[in-house]
Structure 1
Amino acid sequence: MYEIQDVPGKGKGLVATQAIPKGTRILSEKPIITVPEHMTMSSEQLATLISKQVDALSKNHQQEFLALRNIHTFNDVGQKYLGIIRTNGLPANDGEGGIFLQACRINHACDNNAQKNWNENIKRHTVHALRDIEKGEEITIYYMGADRDRETRIRKLQEQFKFICSCGLCSLPPDQSQESDRRLEQINHLEDLIRKGGLMGILSTPLQKLHYVDQQVRLYNERFPNGRGLARAYLSAAEIAIAHGDLARAQIFVDRALGGRICAEGDDTDDVIELKALAHKVSQDELHGLSMKWKTAVNDVPHGLDPADLEDWLWRREKPRQPGQLAGLRDRTTFPAFLGLPHDESYYFDDPNELAGHSRRNWCFLAEIQHVTAFNRLHFEIKDVQGETLPLFFYTDSRGMELDRALVKEGFTVAILQAKQHSFMFDRPGIRHEQPSRIKIFPVSLDKLMALSDRIQQFSDCQVARWNKNGHKADCKLLKDEDLRSLFTNDWDKFESGIQFPLSK
């Protein structure tokens, strides 16, 4: 399947002697030498341990071991052996590193086509093809742990392994390399947002979390579709679905994660065996039943969907409204509750080009004023559509004094465009408002505003702009406000970074 050959600019390496299909176990190898991964013994003790193992090797194995690269200086045989191990060692038994005469010859690439792994069940180091590998192509693995940007990768590889990487990823033109780094930064940032809040975050804002994972998966597919990160992302999506009783989607997510893990490490590792058991019965997971908000059975997958529609269903993607269709204030994608807002350190919605492939939309936060104070700056205590009470502090140039004082009243509804959560040092999480043109106060309670929305949805044949029939005269006064009408008629699916009131402009 492969042989050790001279590779230009790299010394020795493993080269495929035949086409190797994706998921193939390329090698499965026992270590010839093992050492503690964390050096807890003295240099003399370590040298003795290594020397005994080297002396016990056959002559051929000794020669192969000594032929491995050594980037460390040495003064004696013991230091020489240790230098070889530090240069070439791979994970072996739990808490140990090892020398594998075949696997240690595999060179690094940041866009590696194979995955290394220590399989504790069979006590062997395995390497699997992450994609189809052509005959004559070099087999490569990734030396570092976490994925990194180009500058960091090159620096770390020079520091730790004394070579300059010239793989396909590191050799991209500057603009393409920057784009690749940007995707990686976004993947890592999304991971932080997915994990933020832990289990409570999954339970309180599942749709937002699922959409974060959806973006992450798209970015993985653009940057490195065969990496292990993609399987981790599918498991994150499965956790969200299981926690809310959605077994139909959970089954698909778990199956996809399982396929990725089997491809990278085979079907006989502890993690894969555990994942197989979950795939056999997703309802056995400890998260199942915490909420039944999205309850489905495993076989409740819609039939007859094309691949694109299936993905839309799977990720619960909102479809754009049809022309002329009015928005409803109970739509939590367009009019989210506080816990559904992005955090202000997030660029989730900031730039329509920030996350490639993701359909952007605007949003508006609605809440009722409960209490007003104006000691140093204007401060509202407000209650959102889910009954959550939170602070709204004004950090505009005029500290909120620019508002019409006749509208600053308890019981009125505040609307904030592109609102975000903010973690205050001196108070509980709330909203830090900075742009005067993105806030509007309507002289109506939130309950009455929601009831108005329900009537508009019920009588959608009535034109909001000319709503004067069907006994709706009581609502006409409210709907004379262009901005209030625009809450229902605005094209929220079209992202505008500079959106502001009046919306009709």
Structure 2
Amino acid sequence: MPRKKSQRKPTTKRPAEQAWYALKDVPNKGKGLVAIRNIPRGTRILAEKPMITMPTGKTPEEHRTLICQKMDSLSIDQRHAFLSMHNVYPSNDTAEQYIGIFRTNALLTKEFPDEAGIFLEACRINHDCDNNAIYDWKLNEKIKRHTVHAIRDIEDGEEITFSYVSLLDDRKTRQSKLKEQFDFTCLCRVCSLPNEQSQERDRKLEQIVRTEELLKICSLQFTLSPLMILGHVHNQARRYIELGREDFHYAHTLEGALVVLIGHGDLARGRLLAQKLASLWKILLGDDNPQTDEYVALARNPSCHPLYGVSMKLKTAVEEVPYGLGPDDFEDWLWRRPKPKPQAQTTSPSSQSCFSGFADLPSKNGNDTGVSGGSSEVLHSCFLGEIVAMPCRDPLDLEIKDIHNKKTTIHFYTEDHGYVFRAIGFQAGYTVAILDASRYDFNFGPPGIRHEDRRMIKVIASAPAQSFCISFPLSVSGRSSVTKFANV
């Protein structure tokens, strides 16, 4: 479940006499770094130079020669420290032992995958899929040191952790990678979620991956609607927030939004995103990192961005920022979300007694709402709403406005992730009706409708009208029947 955002101010420095951590025994993990005081989000926990670095992409024989040369250059204490590190790879000779230890413990960055390093302190940090710290080395050319920063508040006595696998891997993939590459089974909080909650989280990760693929295609076609692209980016950013992961991937998502806005001439919003990114990169990498410097400079002068003015479809001046807006209205303005049109009453009073809105639904988290079996006297309800938007196509999500003019989201948990309904060609303004819908309180997002049975939904290519009728064929006690809902 996402954690509340820290209210503490980030810091990247500590008094010389203050230590943030100690090497301690960790249950089921051997040794690890454990906080010995509260560590606020954004704190630079450590900065160190590598003991050994090795290029990647070399042949096995080249690696054998290089690792032996590196080991010969170490002091006795350094060699002892290196040999005390964990090794998950079998070895037949000393060189293979060295390579196995290096492969098990070396750190590298995705931005510079051509070199990896062994760090005596940072390499002691154990894995957690819901890590509370991140590392960076090659990006910080100013200090030429590996840095570790807290990405959330870390409590006294809590283990400091990295993730050895991608945030975007689902549980099955994470478990497989960790077993294959590091020979352990992860029992962290995220991997130990109940199946239904884990499925929810994995579904959101899949949406992120699919949207990322879509955005890569969009980035090659700058003539596409900037508002459409911005809508996808905004939905992506919201997913990271709902997962409680406002770190690297979230920052890169905001960078994508900034490029769209400034590229199309919107300096007002571009400057605000640059300010947000400068603050975020300071938390993640420190105030002495070039990434932070870049966005500090861009916040001062957003028009210096190399893509500024490729088009002027969204042109604004830097000072065109509204004042006095509430948080939700400001968020709508920042992301250029369309203002909701004044809504007329879409259904008659009689229909409201026949159909249900989201507020009328029972809460049945995960309970079976199927209709097969039971008494033929069972009373059914029908949720009715109008499609407003499609936040994600795969797996499918539909943003709906119900009969009370309130918005909610239908999340498709059918076996095909909503493919059949996606193929229908959903459009804003179409009507969706769901038989026996229920409210679901999600762990990684606001309450909505978790739709699992494709028999229980109907789509009509028109908006809800004053005169409206819909029917569902059902199987009750082995007999076929039809349930109708209508207002005439």
Instruction: Give the TM-score band, short-chain normalised.
Output: 0.5 to 0.7
Partner residue in 2 for 1:499:
460
Partner residue in 2 for 1:57:
74
Judged with a 3 Å threshold, the aligned counterparts in structure 2 of structure 1 residues 180 and 116 are, in CA distance, closer, same or farther, namely same
Partner residue in 1 for 2:9:
none
For the residues of structure 2 that align with 1:344 and 1:313, how far apart are their CA atoms? Answer: 21
Q: Is 1:215–1:358's contact at 8 Å kept on the other side of the alignment?
A: no
Q: 1:226 aligns with which of 246, 267, 271?
A: 246
Aligned partner of residue 204 in structure 1, secondary structure = coil
Partner residue in 2 for 1:382:
none
Larger radius of gyration: 1
Which structure features the higher share of strand residues? 2
Is the aligned partner of 1:29 residue 2:48?
Answer: yes
Partner residue in 2 for 1:321:
341
Judged with a 3 Å threshold, the aligned counterparts in structure 2 of structure 1 residues 198 and 358 are, in CA distance, closer, same or farther, namely farther
Q: Is 1:203–1:244's contact at 8 Å kept on the other side of the alignment?
A: no
Aligned partner of residue 80 in structure 2, secondary structure = helix
Aligned partner of residue 498 in structure 1, secondary structure = strand
For the residues of structure 2 that align with 1:349 and 1:17, how far apart are their CA atoms? Answer: 44
Partner residue in 2 for 1:96:
115
Aligned partner of residue 46 in structure 2, secondary structure = strand
For the residues of structure 2 that align with 1:180 and 1:502, how far apart are their CA atoms? Answer: 32
Q: Is 2:211–2:232's contact at 8 Å kept on the other side of the alignment?
A: yes
One-letter code aligned to 1:86: R
Judged with a 3 Å threshold, the aligned counterparts in structure 2 of structure 1 residues 274 and 90 are, in CA distance, closer, same or farther, namely same
Judged with a 3 Å threshold, the aligned counterparts in structure 2 of structure 1 residues 50 and 175 are, in CA distance, closer, same or farther, namely same
Q: Is 1:244–1:292's contact at 8 Å kept on the other side of the alignment?
A: yes
Cα deviation for residue 197 of structure 1 reads 3.0
Partner residue in 2 for 1:467:
none
Per-residue CA deviations over 1:44-90 (Å, capped at 9, x if unaligned) read x5334323332332222222111100111112211111110011011
TM-score, structure 1 normalization: 0.65
More off after superposition, 86-95 vs 174-183: 86-95
Is the aligned partner of 1:278 residue 2:239?
Answer: no
Aligned partner of residue 34 in structure 2, secondary structure = strand
Is the aligned partner of 1:212 residue 2:232?
Answer: yes
Is the aligned partner of 1:47 residue 2:8?
Answer: no
Matches within 5 A, 1:302-313: 302-313=322-333
Cα deviation for residue 222 of structure 1 reads 0.9
Matches within 5 A, 1:70-219: 70-91=87-108, 95-119=114-138, 120-121=140-141, 122-145=143-166, 147-200=168-221, 202-219=222-239
Per-residue CA deviations over 1:393-442 (Å, capped at 9, x if unaligned) read xxxxxxxxxxxxxxxxxxxxxxx97359xxxxxxxxxxxxxx9x99xxxx
Judged with a 3 Å threshold, the aligned counterparts in structure 2 of structure 1 residues 245 and 32 are, in CA distance, closer, same or farther, namely same
Is the aligned partner of 1:418 residue 2:426?
Answer: yes
One-letter code aligned to 1:7: V
Judged with a 3 Å threshold, the aligned counterparts in structure 2 of structure 1 residues 163 and 264 are, in CA distance, closer, same or farther, namely same
Judged with a 3 Å threshold, the aligned counterparts in structure 2 of structure 1 residues 351 and 140 are, in CA distance, closer, same or farther, namely same
CA RMSD of aligned residues (A): 3.2
Matches within 5 A, 1:329-368: 350=398
Cα deviation for residue 219 of structure 1 reads 0.9
Question: Whose relative contact order is higher, 1 or 2, with alpha carbons under 8 Å and at least 6 apart?
Answer: 2
One-letter code aligned to 1:239: V
Which structure features the higher share of helix residues? 1
Structure 1: gaps (5+ residues): 327-333, 362-415, 421-434, 439-495
Q: Is 1:5–1:15's contact at 8 Å kept on the other side of the alignment?
A: yes
TM-score, structure 2 normalization: 0.67
Aligned residues: 362
Judged with a 3 Å threshold, the aligned counterparts in structure 2 of structure 1 residues 94 and 72 are, in CA distance, closer, same or farther, namely closer
For the residues of structure 2 that align with 1:80 and 1:284, how far apart are their CA atoms? Answer: 51
For the residues of structure 2 that align with 1:220 and 1:335, how far apart are their CA atoms? Answer: 24
More off after superposition, 148-157 vs 183-192: 183-192
Percent of aligned positions that are identical: 44
Q: Is 1:417–1:500's contact at 8 Å kept on the other side of the alignment?
A: no
Is the aligned partner of 1:257 residue 2:277?
Answer: yes
One-letter code aligned to 1:242: I
Matches within 5 A, 1:450-469: none
Judged with a 3 Å threshold, the aligned counterparts in structure 2 of structure 1 residues 316 and 83 are, in CA distance, closer, same or farther, namely same
Partner residue in 1 for 2:21:
2
Q: 2:85 aligns with which of 46, 68, 80?
A: 68
Q: Is 2:391–2:399's contact at 8 Å kept on the other side of the alignment?
A: no
One-letter code aligned to 2:246: N
Aligned partner of residue 275 in structure 1, secondary structure = helix
Superposed structure 1 runs of 4+ greater than 4 Å apart: 341-353, 357-361
For the residues of structure 2 that align with 1:228 and 1:6, how far apart are their CA atoms? Answer: 29
Structure 2: gaps (5+ residues): 1-19, 347-385, 411-423, 433-456, 469-488
Per-residue CA deviations over 1:451-504 (Å, capped at 9, x if unaligned) read xxxxxxxxxxxxxxxxxxxxxxxxxxxxxxxxxxxxxxxxxxxxx961225863
One-letter code aligned to 1:68: M
Partner residue in 2 for 1:478:
none
Q: Is 2:129–2:167's contact at 8 Å kept on the other side of the alignment?
A: no
Per-residue CA deviations over 1:315-341 (Å, capped at 9, x if unaligned) read 122343334399xxxxxxx999xxxx9
Matches within 5 A, 1:345-494: 350=398, 418=426
One-letter code aligned to 1:215: N
Cα deviation for residue 147 of structure 1 reads 2.2
Cα deviation for residue 186 of structure 1 reads 1.1
For the residues of structure 1 that align with 2:192 and 2:282, how far apart are their CA atoms? Answer: 30
Judged with a 3 Å threshold, the aligned counterparts in structure 2 of structure 1 residues 245 and 182 are, in CA distance, closer, same or farther, namely same
